[in-house]
Structures are given as structure tokens and as C-alpha cells.
Amino acid sequence: MARYIDPHIHMVSRTTDDYKRMALAGCALVSEPAFWAGFDRSGVEGFRDYFRQLTDFEGKRSRSYGIAHYTWLCINAKEAENIELSREVIAMIPEFLESSTVLGIGEIGLNINTKNESTVFLEHLDLVAKTDELVLVHTPHLADKYQGTRMILDMIKGDQRITPHRVCIDHVEEHTIALALDAGHWVGMTLYPITKCTPQRAADMVEKYGTDRIMVNSAGDWGHSDPLAVPEFIFEMKKRGHSELDIQKVVFENPLTFFRQCKRFDWSPIQA
């Protein structure tokens, strides 16, 4: 059985049965970015409780299934229209940055590509530069993706304090992957049933762009999604005759290499 890492999954929205099925499928580690709960939180204390859940309780839940749990903190793009709340949350994040399971700032990004979303993205980047954290970037959905990805890349390039290889541009698809790789970033391909990428299209992109700086994730959450999407990708790659070495690089070694840039990350496979 291939071991794998799911570098983007929202486990607070999943059941313990999912943890068990993921463990049985070979999952060794998950990384969970902060995201939108499906409703706007009423204030900064709602985020404080969410960050406590991500940095404390969720790790205990995953460990009971032998899966390591790491996390990312931010205010997501959907709530970034409220700039005042966003600034309160960004000011509170450093309280949690010494937690050993925090990998960095994420998933920051754009949703419908507005001025307020861009302002909050830039202020997150400022925090990243001041704290030397890794970044996980959410790119928009569907029609907004191409425009939003170009805007995000413009903003990162515009802040010369940000090192490209310490940033992962997530949810890339056929029309955005080369833009992010050419800018020196890592990329994540999200395997979603309808709105993002299938395991087959992800395998096509690995065949086209190679195995360097590329990861796959399920982005499993409270909506229509599959927490076993990464094993589906592994299955597709095996079906096409790709080597265990190439597959393990994409689903295991690459996430580890990216995470190891975080000064707090000291996980090794024997600890699983």
C-alpha cells in the first residue's frame, strides 16, 4: 500500500470514520488550512476558537488514527470583504505561530477578485514577510480562477520580501499551473468531483509538467468532496504504468520537502 500525505484537507468538517478510511488507504499526514465555515463568523473570537481547534483538538483526533495533523492559519478570502474583522484576525494570528503544528499562513487568496480581498491578501503577505512563514494560497473557483491567479501572482511578485519557493499556489488547473510553476512557486492540484480537477486530468498535468514542485490534495470539506481523492490519483498513476518512485515523489516526498522549509516542522515518517 502506498503511503501518502494529503496536503490540503479540512478535517474539522469530516467524521472520524474518514480518518479511519484515510489511515487504511495509507494516509500518514494531513495539513489543514483555515477556511470558510460555510457561514461568516461573528467576530474575532470565533476565529480564536477555530485556531484553538486547529492547533489543539484536531491533532488529538487525528493521532488516534495514526495520522499526523498540521495546520495553516488566516482569515479566508470569503470573509475578507470585512476589512476591519480581517485586520483583527491577522493581528491575532501571531499568538498561535509558536504552536508546533502550524506550517504557516493559509489558505489566503482571492474569491471573486475584489479590492477588499486584494487588500487583505496583501496584509497577509506583510505578516508572512515579518514572521518568515510559509504560504498556502487559495486560487478562486471556475470563471474567476484565471483572472484571480494572475492577480495573486502579481501581488506576490510585487512584494520582494516573499521568496517564491516558500509559496504554494493551490487549486491550479490546466490554464494556471504553468503560470505558478514559471514564477518559481510550488503548486497543488485539487481533486474535486465537479468544480476542480479529476485524478485523470491531474495525472495528465504531472505527465506534462513533471514531478518537481507539484502536489495533489483532496481539499475535502463540508461540501461535495472526497477525502480519498489522493488514493484515486495514485490508482490512476499506477494504471498508466508510472513508477512507484514517481508516484511517491508527488504524493509523499514533495509535501514533506515543502513543509520542511517551516522551521517548526520536525515530523519524520517513523513518528507516524
How far is residue 76's CA from residue 34's CA, in Å, rounded to a whole number?
A: 7
- Positions 154 through 173 that interact with other proteins (CB under 8 A): 154-155, 158-161, 173
223 is a contact residue toward other proteins (CB under 8 A): no
- Positions 126 through 145 that interact with other proteins (CB under 8 A): 126, 129, 142-145
Min dist. Cβ of residue 189 to other proteins (A): 13
Q: In this complex, which beta carbon is closest to other proteins, that of residue 99 or of residue 248?
A: 248
Q: How many CB atoms neighbour CB 102 within 10 A?
A: 22
Cβ contacts of 211 within 8 Å, gap of 6 or more: 246, 249, 250, 254
How far is residue 43's CA from residue 103's CA, in Å, rounded to a whole number?
A: 24
The DSSP call for residue 69 is: E
214-217, strands of its sheet edge to edge: 4-6, 27-33, 68-73, 102-109, 134-138, 167-169, 186-190, 214-217
Min dist. Cβ of residue 213 to other proteins (A): 15
How far is residue 171's CA from residue 152's CA, in Å, rounded to a whole number?
A: 13
Min dist. Cβ of residue 154 to other proteins (A): 7
Min dist. Cβ of residue 250 to other proteins (A): 11
Beta strands in the chain (DSSP E): 4-6, 27-33, 68-73, 102-109, 134-138, 167-169, 186-190, 214-217
CB 118 within 8 Å of CB 152: no
Q: Taking phi first (over 0 means left), then psi (-120 to 50 degrees means alpha), and beta for anything else, what does residue 68 get?
A: beta
How far is residue 22's CA from residue 228's CA, in Å, rounded to a whole number?
A: 6
Q: In this complex, which beta carbon is closest to other proteins, that of residue 65 or of residue 146?
A: 146
Count of residues of this chain found to bind other proteins when the rule CB under 8 A is applied:
37
Binding flags for other proteins, 183-222, as an x/- string (CB under 8 A): ------------------x--x-xxx-xx-----------
Min dist. Cβ of residue 55 to other proteins (A): 29
- Positions 94 through 113 that interact with other proteins (CB under 8 A): 113
Stretch in the footprint of other proteins (CB under 8 A) among 97-105, 215-223, 238-246, 252-260: 238-246
> Per the structure block, which three cell numbers stand in for 101?
503544528
147 is a contact residue toward other proteins (CB under 8 A): yes
Stretch in the footprint of other proteins (CB under 8 A) among 11-19, 131-139, 153-161, 188-196: 153-161
| Residues of this chain that bind other proteins (CB under 8 A) | 113, 115, 118-119, 122, 126, 129, 142-147, 150-151, 154-155, 158-161, 173-175, 201, 204, 206-208, 210-211, 239-243, 246
